[in-house]
Amino acid sequence: MNAFTHNEDLVLQVSSVTEGKVHQQLQQVEKTQTVPRSYRPALHAALRRAARVPVGLWLAWSVVVLVLLWAVLPGWFSGHDPLVGQAGQQLQAPNSGHWLGTDALGRDVWARVVHGSVHSLAGALVAVGVGLVVGTTLGLLAGALGGRTDDALMRLVDVLLAVPSLLLSLTIIIVLGFGTVNAAIAVGVASVASFARLVRSEVVRVRRTEYVEAAFGSGGRFSAVLSRHVLPNSLTSVVALAALQFGTAILAIATLGFLGYGAPPPTPEWGLLIAEGRNYLSTAWWLTTAPGLVVVAMVLAVNRISASLSGGQP
C-alpha cells in the first residue's frame, strides 16, 4: 500500500513538472507570435468565415481576379507581342513555346487572349456604367415622383423591354458606328430598362417606410431625403444586378465582336478572336476554344458572385 502511494506521488510530481514545462513553452510561443493578442479573436473569426465560403465562390473570385490581373498587367503573363506574328510559326498547336498555339499569322494565341482582356473588361465596365447611371436615374425619378412622371418613364422602359437587346444594340451601333466603345454604349443602353424597373420597385418600397415618412415630416427637403435615405437603402439589389449585368455585358460585347460590330482587326478582342478562328475549326481548334473557354469561365464566375451578393447562395 505504501509503495502504491509512493508511485502515485511520483506520477503527480511528473505530471506537475510536465504541465509547468508546457505552460512555459506556450508563453514563449505567445511572446514570439507576430499577431497581437487583441487581434487574435478577430483573426480567428475571419478564418472561420473564410472556411465557410463555398469552394465554387472561391473559384469564381479566383477567375475574376486572374482576368483583372491580365487586363492590368498583361506583360507579366505573356512576353509575346499580340499584334505581330512570327515567320514560320503559323497555326502551331499548343506547345511549350506557345501555350495556346498560334494563329494563321503566327501570333501567339495566349498573348492575344491575355491582352484582349482589357478590351472586353473595359467594354463591359462602360456598358454596366451606362445602364446603372441612366437606369438608376430613371427608376429613382419614377419611384419618387410617381403620377404622370412614373407613367411616362415606365412606358419608355416598356418600349425598351419590348425590343430584343441584341437588335437594340445593333441598331444603336449602326447609328454610332463600329468600335468597342460604341458597342459598349449600345449594350449599356439595352440594359437601362432592367436597372430602371428594379430601382423603381426598390424606391417605392423604401419610400413607404416609417423613417422616410419621418424624414419628410420633420421638414427634410425632397432631394436631401432621396439622397440620404431613399437611394442608399435601395441599392442593395442593384449591386447584385450590376454584377450580373457585367457578365451579360461581356457575353454581349463578345457576340457583337464575333458579328464584326465590335473592335476592328487586329485588336485582340475575345469575340473577334473567336470569329477569326471559326474558319480553322477542323485544323486549328485552339483558335476558338481558348478565347471561348475564357469568356464562358468569366461569365459563369461573375454570375456566381452575383448570386452570392443577391443572397441566393452563400
Write the burial class of residue 234 (CB in 10 Å: 0-12 exposed, 13-18 middle, 19+ buried): buried
Tens-digit pLDDT profile for residues 70-83: 999 999 998 899 99
Flag whether 235 is in a domain. yes
Flag whether 299 is in a domain. yes
Tens-digit pLDDT profile for residues 254-273: 999 999 998 888 889 999 99
Mean local confidence (pLDDT), 149-175 = 91
Name the phi and psi angles at 108, rounded to 5: -70, 125
CATH assignment at residue 224: 1.10.3720.10
Number of domains in the chain: 1
Structural domain for 270, as ranges: 64-79+102-309
For the chain, give the mean pLDDT. Answer: 83
Flag whether 173 is in a domain. yes
| 8: pLDDT strictly greater than 80 | no
Flag whether 89 is in a domain. no
Mean local confidence (pLDDT), 215-237 = 78
| 314: pLDDT strictly greater than 90 | no
| 217: pLDDT strictly greater than 90 | no
Flag whether 50 is in a domain. no
Longest Cα–Cα distance of the chain, Å, equals 105
Write the burial class of residue 9 (CB in 10 Å: 0-12 exposed, 13-18 middle, 19+ buried): exposed
Flag whether 281 is in a domain. yes
Flag whether 204 is in a domain. yes
| 127: pLDDT strictly greater than 80 | yes
Write the burial class of residue 110 (CB in 10 Å: 0-12 exposed, 13-18 middle, 19+ buried): buried
CA distance 291 to 128: 22
With vertex at residue 238, the alpha carbon angle to CA 117 and CA 240, rounded to the nearest 5 degrees, is: 55
SS3 content of the chain, % helix, strand, coil (to 5): 75, 0, 25
Flag whether 90 is in a domain. no
| 3-state class (DSSP) for residue 147 | helix
Number of helices and strands in the chain (H, E): 13, 0
Which cell numbers in the block locate residue 102? 498560334
